[in-house]
């Protein structure tokens, strides 16, 4: 039973509706609703407005608080700008526990010996074994590493494995999640995230697809993204709290579109190139994916490895699934199974192509013309060998 709106509230609602970007009228409405004698007025007024059109997260939060008081939790949830408010502990993925998956180590990653060696030398050893020495010498161990390379080639996987190898806890942060959930109260939430991570040190704080932050920083400055990013960078710098025993890892397939601010010393100041799977890696991935499936005796995995140069891990996955689909199509029943054969793969090769080539083409420009500071040395090295 909703109360008719008073004239001034009704006219404010109309005003806001006709021009939702006018923050002043939104604000006036929220103030007015705060004094409304009957809480059903609050529900009726805010129910007529689109929370998504409200320009200010702070106002959305105030509206949500009003709706809470008005005993309308569902509408409040629509208005609330972030998942949880007024708390320092930040549930990154809503209320549900984070999907943690089984822990993986370097043994689960095929090939890529060069990358593993580098990661051991540049990251794991200093982080794991030298921490005491670093402390003695009062050398700041902080800073971060940016992994870059084509999509589907194991960056995310490598990050998880790295945390395992460091005996560190793993805090997975998706840039896009931060942006969507942290608008409003950004500083507090980022601070909460770092606080939480500090409590479980040694810890790896992993920013997957970190370019989402940098890009939106440029194009979406109106929506409080800048505050989120600034808060993040400030925390990384360690002025707000001690970052000893924390490793920042970022992953991206477009390192060149990352805001320069991310690359300053103490932030993502080192880079590691994660190339497409080499022969050993491809064999590892193919054999792993075929394991336990009905396979024809003469299936030539060696030939598949040879023919999939330039396939990403994800491409290989798609190739196998496609071949498997053909085998299933040909199988008549549970008892008359057609095992996965070379012919099925021939069909699959017609449909699934490498997605890496395009990336390498683009990357070549940056390796050649934007490598003044040596950021892309490893990429340049790879491209030289790859071209042969």
Ligand X SMILES: Nc1ncnc2c1ncn2[C@@H]1O[C@H](COP(=O)(O)OP(=O)(O)O)[C@@H](O)[C@H]1O
The sheet carrying 246-252 orders its strands as: 169-174, 203-208, 246-252, 144-148, 268-273
100 contacts: CB under 8 Å, gap ≥ 6: none
Nearer to ligand X, 208 or 235 (CB): 208
Least distance from C-beta 226 to ligand X, angstroms?
27
Gap between the Cα atoms of 316 and 151, Å rounded: 12
Least distance from C-beta 136 to ligand X, angstroms?
36
Q: Is 234 in the site for Mg ion (CB under 5 A)?
A: no
Nearer to ligand X, 111 or 192 (CB): 111
Q: Is 314 in the site for Mg ion (CB under 5 A)?
A: no
The H-assigned helical ranges of the chain are 7-18, 23-34, 39-47, 57-69, 73-79, 113-119, 125-128, 131-136, 155-165, 175-182, 186-199, 211-219, 225-237, 279-290, 301-307, 313-330, 342-351, 356-369, 377-387
Gap between the Cα atoms of 226 and 186, Å rounded: 10
Least distance from C-beta 345 to Mg ion, angstroms?
26
What is each CA distance from 118 to 85, 113, 122, 124, 270, in whole angstroms? 41, 9, 6, 9, 12
Least distance from C-beta 285 to ligand X, angstroms?
5
Q: Is 177 in the site for Mg ion (CB under 5 A)?
A: no
Least distance from C-beta 152 to ligand X, angstroms?
4
Which window, 86-94, 153-161, 193-201, 331-339, contacts Mg ion (CB under 5 A)?
Answer: 153-161
Least distance from C-beta 270 to ligand X, angstroms?
18
Gap between the Cα atoms of 213 and 387, Å rounded: 33
Q: Among ligand X, Mg ion, none, what does residue 380 contact (CB within 5–8 Å per kind)? A: none
Cβ-closest residue to ligand X? 313
Nearer to ligand X, 60 or 282 (CB): 282
Nearer to ligand X, 57 or 152 (CB): 152
Q: What is the CA radius of gyration of the chain?
A: 26
Q: What is the DSSP string of 134-177?
A: HHHTT-----EEEEE-STTSSHHHHHHHHHHHTT-EEEEEEHHH
Nearer to ligand X, 3 or 156 (CB): 156
Q: Identify the residue among 85, 156, 226, 331 touching Mg ion (CB under 5 A).
A: 156
Least distance from C-beta 74 to ligand X, angstroms?
36
Q: Among ligand X, Mg ion, none, what does residue 109 contact (CB within 5–8 Å per kind)? A: ligand X
Nearer to ligand X, 65 or 104 (CB): 104
Q: Which residues bind ligand X (CB under 6 A)?
A: 109-112, 151-157, 251, 277, 281, 284-285, 313-314, 317
Residues that bind Mg ion (CB under 5 A): 156
């Amino acid at each position: 039973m909703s109360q008719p709106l008073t004239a001034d509230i009704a006219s404010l609602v109309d005003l806001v509706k006709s021009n939702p970007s006018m923050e002043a009228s939104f604000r006036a409405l929220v103030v007015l609703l705060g004094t409304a004698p009957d809480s059903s007025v609050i529900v009726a007024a805010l129910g007529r407005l689109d929370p998504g059109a409200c320009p200010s997260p702070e106002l959305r939060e105030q509206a949500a608080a009003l709706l809470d008081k008005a005993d309308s939790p569902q509408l409040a949830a629509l208005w609330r700008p972030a998942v949880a408010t007024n708390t320092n502990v930040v549930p990154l993925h809503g209320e549900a526990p984070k999907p943690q998956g089984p822990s993986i180590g370097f043994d689960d990653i095929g090939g890529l010996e060069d990358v593993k060696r580098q990661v051991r030398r540049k990251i794991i050893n200093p982080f794991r074994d030298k921490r005491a020495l670093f402390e003695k010498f009062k050398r700041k161990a902080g800073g971060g590493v940016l992994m870059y390379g084509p999509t589907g080639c194991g960056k995310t996987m490598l990050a998880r494995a790295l945390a395992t190898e460091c005996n560190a806890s793993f805090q997975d942060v998706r840039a896009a999640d931060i942006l969507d959930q942290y608008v409003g109260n950004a500083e507090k939430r980022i601070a909460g995230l770092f606080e939480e991570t500090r409590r479980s040190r040694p810890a790896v704080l992993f920013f997957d697809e970190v370019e989402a932050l940098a890009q939106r920083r440029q194009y979406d400055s109106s929506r409080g993204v800048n505050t989120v990013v600034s808060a993040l960078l400030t925390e990384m710098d360690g002025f707000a709290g001690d970052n000893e025993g924390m490793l920042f890892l970022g992953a991206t397939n477009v390192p060149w579109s990352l805001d320069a601010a991310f690359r300053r010393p103490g932030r993502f100041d080192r880079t590691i190139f994660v190339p497409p799977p080499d022969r050993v890696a491809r064999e590892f991935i193919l054999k792993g994916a075929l394991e336990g499936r009905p396979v024809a005796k003469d299936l030539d995995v060696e030939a598949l490895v040879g023919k999939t140069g330039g396939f990403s891990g994800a491409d290989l996955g798609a190739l196998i699934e496609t071949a498997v689909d053909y085998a299933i199509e040909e199988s008549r029943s549970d008892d008359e199974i057609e095992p996965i054969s070379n012919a099925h793969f021939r069909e699959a090769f017609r449909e699934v192509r490498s997605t890496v080539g395009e990336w390498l083409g683009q990357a070549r420009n940056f390796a050649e013309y934007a490598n003044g500071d040596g950021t892309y040395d490893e990429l340049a090295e790879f491209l030289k060998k790859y071209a042969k």
